[in-house]
Structure 1
């Protein structure tokens, strides 16, 4: 993102020179696409990641409502795989994944995610309750 901003500023300076020297801007405008994409890409990733978290939450709600439903658990497991492959320090994401792992019967992974959530937010009541529940 920083490189994209630097490129954008440099292109803006070159554009200023083009205007000052009364040259055509049409040759320069396509070059603005790369820095714009570089600046916006992290935001697009965050939106995508947010959608994946929502998918996990929906699948988790379905699996918790129907604990014997193998299809719901399979959907939850697939959703969790999509989110878990990305590293995150967001305590809400880690707590959601911990609840999902608990629903899938993977207590060790759930505890790891709860511990990650508690490292960032040690006073999280929800994380402490889930940790206590997992340790029983």
Structure 2
């Protein structure tokens, strides 16, 4: 994941276990250390440059709007894990021969785009 500062999104407190499982087990992201967590939420990914979920009773989610883009080393490995766990996703072929990405929704309903990391 590449960003200047953490990406902030809402999550329902009641679905915290499912959100944590999705981002850590399914997507393979690391949880922020307990002493680095921001009160009122949960952080995952690179410290202070990852994702931070604010707990709300009624999270603000637009399932049709892309919330953020994640980059992974292997799109094929992630696609295999998603398939093995029965997680719904769509594979899209872009304009170029290597422009492939996955679109899916997290447990809160945020629409996520996942692309393979490209060397700079």
Superposition TM-score tier, normalisation by shorter sequence:
under 0.3
- The structure in which a higher percent of residues are helix is 1
Q: TM-score, normalising length from structure 1?
A: 0.21
Bigger relative contact order, structure 1 or 2 (CA pairs below 8 A, ≥6 apart):
2
- The structure in which a higher percent of residues are strand is 2
